[in-house]
Each structure stands twice: as C-alpha cells, then as structure tokens.
C-alpha cells in the first residue's frame, strides 16, 4: 500500500462539491424547528494523492464539520442533519459519492479514511491497552489472525517511535505527545489512503508539536498518505501543507498553494488571519496589520451575501446580495471576493 500510495501520487483522491451540512435547531415545548445552523454552506475542493491540504479559520468556521462529513459521521449521530453536495471518493473502480450514505455502505471505504483527533487525552479509551486500541480498527476492517494483529501493532509502534513494550500499557501512563503517537498508530492500522487530522498538535506543548509534525511528514513519505490537516496555527500549517484553504462561517474564502496563501493572501479575511500570526521580526510586527473587529457571527444567523461583510474593512453595499464564488486571481489562487 505504501508503494501504491506513492506510485499514484498526484492522482485525484477526493473531490468535494458544494458540500452543505445544516443542523436543524429545535425549541419550545413541542420541539418545533426554530432555525438552522449552517455549519458548512457550500464548500468545494479537491485533494490529490500524497498531498496535504490545510484547512484554517476561526473557531466555529466549520473545519471539524467538513472533516466529519468526509468520514460520514454526521448522519449516524444526527439523523435529521441536512446534507447537500457531493463527496466523491476516487477508487480503482470509479467514483463513489459518500455524502450521507449509510454506515454499512460506508464500511468498505471506512478503512481507507482515518482520523486523528485534537485531544490525545480523551480520544483514547482509558480502559484499553495500547495493543487493544491500535488493533481495534484491524478487527473491524482486516482479516488477520490474533498473532498477525499483534505483530502489526508492534510494527506500528516502531514506526511511530514508541517502544514495543508499551503495547501492554494504558493511555494514562503516557505523555500527551506519546498518546498522540498512539493515536497516529491507530489511524495507520488499516493502511488508509487519507488521514483527516483535526488539530492534531494543538493540545501539545510547543516543543512536542514539531516532533509530532515531523513524524507525520515522515509517515506521509513512507506510506504515500494524503492529509487533510485542520489547524488554527498558520505557521504549523505552512510548514506541513502543500495547499491551504481558508474557511469563514461555513464557506471557503480562499484556497491556494501554501506560499500563495501564507505569503500573499488576497482575501481580506485571510489577510486578517495572517496579520494575527506573531512576527519573529519585531520591526515588521505591525506593518500592514488588519485587526478584525467583533466576533464571527453565529452560523444560525449568517449575514446575507458575503458572510464576511459584517467585519470586512472593504465591504460595499453590493456585498449583501450574492454569496461570492471562488475565482482564480492568478496561478490557481482562488479567492471568494469580487473586489480583490
């Protein structure tokens, strides 16, 4: 699989078209529908084999909801969630639209998409040994004997830089960085093509963050993995990602190569987000900074037209009319604003 992933590098793996994830909100004694949280409201992007796409944006912008939609977690948990658009997974035998399919229909694809979570303290079952945690997905998806699973767990512990003897220990015996390595080993257990990493280093000490990121990059090279890397910290994303997508209130406002978005962002929101990144050089720290006024509006009451207009420094009256489409502003850098 490692060779397969690397051989097919650059081929399309996932195409997301017009994805919508709307959660109905109920109120009153009779539990009437009183509104809709438009957590993801028309998001489109593609992901090629072997690349890392970063997704950044403020808290509540819909990053986790996109990740969970790809792995199809919403419908089983919230049966009345309203889903729209397509999530096309490219397989050897053609494209499969996984958006909203049942858990059983998803099962054959589920081993190929795994997730790494933000909090290594709550995402590992404290009552299971490391062995049991890592072999869990193998039991569901792979036809291996107990002895084969055990060997594979030991091999995975090697790969993520943990001692083999840790297999019989419990999560509470480890540091945050070690636990995240266990989480990574569990994600690798089924030989996935795609790993959705939802803020995988945000809960770790800065000194440990770089080690985990470097490990993820090594594993990507070795296994030909594709990453969707969700993060707050733009400097982390710049380091690991080939391309970066910026989300605001359920929409993508900009997408481009890591250099395009990090070094020359074009959308006013991306510029503001980048302005918030601390500058190593104090002389340049305040140059051209954009300060965002106010909080991100709630996705239950999205402004009409461009969702960013209530905070945008260059908003015009016409911005209240249509939701701006992403358009190419040069060299494939896509921006959802007609005024840049």
Ligand X SMILES: Nc1ncnc2c1ncn2[C@@H]1O[C@H](COP(=O)(O)OP(=O)(O)OP(=O)(O)O)[C@@H](O)[C@H]1O
- State yes or no: residue 299 binds ligand X (CB under 6 A): yes
Cβ neighbour number for residue 291 with a 10 Å cutoff = 8
Q: Report the half-sphere exposure of 246 (CA within 13 A, side-chain side).
A: 29
Minimal distance in Å, beta carbon 323 to ligand SF4? Answer: 9
Residue 37 as a binder of ligand X (CB under 6 A): the answer is: yes
- Site mask for ligand X (CB under 6 A), range 241-280, x = bound: ----------------------------------------
Burial status of residue 133 (CB atoms within 10 A of its CB: 0-12, 13-18, 19 or more): buried
- Closer CB to ligand SF4, 102 or 304, in the complex: 304
Question: Applying CB under 6 A, which of residues 60, 85, 200, 256 lies at the interface with ligand X?
Answer: 60
Residue 280, number of CB atoms within 10 A of its CB: 8
Per DSSP, 151 falls in state H
User: Do residues 102 and 108 make contact, with C-beta atoms less than 8 angstroms apart?
Assistant: no
Of 44, 48, 52, 64, which one interacts with Mg ion (CB under 5 A)? 64
Binding mask 312-331 for ligand SF4 (x = CB under 6 A): x-xxx--x----x-------
Q: What's the CA gap between 65 and 71, in Å, rounded? A: 10
**Element of type H or E holding 195:** strand 194-198
Largest CA distance in the chain: 67
Which of 182, 337 has the CB closer to ligand SF4? 337
Stretch in the footprint of ligand X (CB under 6 A) among 3-11, 58-66, 124-132, 301-309: 58-66
Residues 303, 324: Cα–Cα separation, whole Å: 13
- Taking the complex as a whole, how short is the minimal distance between the CB of residue 129 and Mg ion, in angstroms? 29
Q: Which CB, 23 or 227, lies closer to ligand X?
A: 23
φ and ψ at 32, to 5 degrees? Answer: -75, 155
Select the residue interacting with ligand X from 5, 50, 54, 62 (CB under 6 A).
62
Least separation in angstroms between residue 232's CB and ligand X is 6
Where do contacts with ligand SF4 occur on this chain (CB under 6 A)?
268, 306, 308-309, 312, 314-316, 319, 324, 337, 339
């Amino acid at each position: 699989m490692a060779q397969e992933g690397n051989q097919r590098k650059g081929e399309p793996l996932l195409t997301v078209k017009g994805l919508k994830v709307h959660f109905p909100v109920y109120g009153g004694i009779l539990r009437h529908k009183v509104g809709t949280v438009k957590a993801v409201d028309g998001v489109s992007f593609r992901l090629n084999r072997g690349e890392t796409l970063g997704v950044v944006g403020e808290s509540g912008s819909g990053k986790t909801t996109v990740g969970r939609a790809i792995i199809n977690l919403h419908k089983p948990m919230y049966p009345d969630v309203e889903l729209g658009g397509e999530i096309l997974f490219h397989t050897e035998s053609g494209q499969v639209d996984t958006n909203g399919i049942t858990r059983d229909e998803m099962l054959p694809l589920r081993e190929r998409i795994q997730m790494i979570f933000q909090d290594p303290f709550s995402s590992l079952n404290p009552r299971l040994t490391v062995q049991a945690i890592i072999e869990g997905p193998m039991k569901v998806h792979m036809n291996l004997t107990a002895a084969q699973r055990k060997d594979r767990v030991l091999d995975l512990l090697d790969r993520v830089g943990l001692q083999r003897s840790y297999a019989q220990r419990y999560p509470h015996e480890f540091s945050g960085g070690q636990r995240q390595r266990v989480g990574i080993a569990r994600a690798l257990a089924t030989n996935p093509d795609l790993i959705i990493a939802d803020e995988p280093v945000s809960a770790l000490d800065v000194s440990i963050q770089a080690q985990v990121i470097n490990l993820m990059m090594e594993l990507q090279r070795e296994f030909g993995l594709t990453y969707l890397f969700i993060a707050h910290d733009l400097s982390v994303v710049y380091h690991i990602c080939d391309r970066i997508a910026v989300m605001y209130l359920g929409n993508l406002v900009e997408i481009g190569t890591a250099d395009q978005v990090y070094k020359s962002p074009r959308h006013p929101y991306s510029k503001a987000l980048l302005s918030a990144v601390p500058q190593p050089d104090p002389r340049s720290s305040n140059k051209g900074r954009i300060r965002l006024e106010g909080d991100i509006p709630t996705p239950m009451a999205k402004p009409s037209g461009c969702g960013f207009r209530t905070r945008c420094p260059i908003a015009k009256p016409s911005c209240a009319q249509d939701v701006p489409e992403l358009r190419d502003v040069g060299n494939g850098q896509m921006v959802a604003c007609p005024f840049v």
